[in-house]
Amino acid sequence: MNMFDLTGKVALVTGGAHSIGFALGVGLAKAGATVCFNCSSEGSRQRGLAAYAEAGVEVHGYVADVTDETAVQAMVKAIREEVGIIDILVNNAGVIKRVPMTEMSVEDFSKVIDVDLIAPFICSKAVIPGMLEKGHGKIINICSMMSELGRETVSAYAAAKGGLKMLTRNICSEFGGANIQCNGIGPGYIATQQTAPLRERQADGSRHPFDQFIISKTPAGRWGTTDDLVGPTVFLASSASDFVNGHVLYVDGGILAYIGKQP
């Protein structure tokens, strides 16, 4: 299935030193891509390089604040000079602040918008000229089920991810004719280190209440894993998806299709 082969492609994964971004970086590398990952500090870069080495893949790490356009442009320039023109961009870096809307400061709201929406705009803007030069490109935005649904305490995150869905569609609209495909992936609830406390068994052996809630809402009957996101990412990064554009692929175990069990 050579259409999924990424050999010769240069990929940049923002926030790629750990968690979902790390899994996607490893997956793209194993599919043949030369992977560059971005992170926010030198310490994170070193930990990321060590983790990738342990996973058996060779990558390139870069430090840049993805909300700083000057820093991002400098990073993309460095990647071009040291590795090559970027063929694949995965806008993965993100933050969430769980605060009731009436208690959330404008500063915190703006921070989430900056990282989760403005940064993908900055990064996409930085790589598109190279993609236009090469005559092709793939941009993958890590969206969310909150691109479709609201929930208590995540007003900023939902607003940003909803905006990211529409940015995805607009990049498709503007650059589809130049053979650039921009799509999104909307993860469901993914088992990561950050969500581990929510999945711990209680003293009586029962599930954590939030764990119960997620399992009850997921037709697959489980949390997703970071590996569940790798196949869809490779698909959207490869020539197999050359006529797929402006789409958000929800990898959620069926949550968005499901109203829940009858009481």
Q: How confident is the model at residue 73, as a pLDDT?
A: 98
Question: Pairing mode, if any, of strands 248-251 and 59-63?
Answer: unpaired
CATH of the domain at 232: 3.40.50.720
How many domains are there within the chain?
1
Residue 249 lies in a domain: yes
Q: How confident is the model at residue 260, as a pLDDT?
A: 85
Residue 56 lies in a domain: yes
Q: Which residues span the domain enclosing 43?
A: 2-191+224-257
Residue 142 lies in a domain: yes
Residue 146 lies in a domain: yes
Residue 15 lies in a domain: yes
The residues of the chain scoring below 50 in pLDDT are none
> Is 157 part of the annotated catalytic residue set?
yes
Q: How confident is the model at residue 194, as a pLDDT?
A: 79
Q: How confident is the model at residue 145, as a pLDDT?
A: 94
Residue 202 lies in a domain: no
Residue 198 lies in a domain: no
Catalytic residue among 157, 189, 250, 258: 157
This prediction has a pTM of: 0.96
Q: How confident is the model at residue 202, as a pLDDT?
A: 87
Instruction: Select from 170, 143, 126 the least CA-distant residue to 12.
Output: 126
The pLDDT tens digits of the residues spanning 181-203 come to 999 999 999 999 878 888 988 88
Q: How confident is the model at residue 1, as a pLDDT?
A: 65
Q: How confident is the model at residue 196, as a pLDDT?
A: 87
How are strands ordered across the β-sheet holding 248-251?
A: 59-63, 34-39, 10-13, 88-91, 137-142, 180-187, 248-251
Residue 218 lies in a domain: no
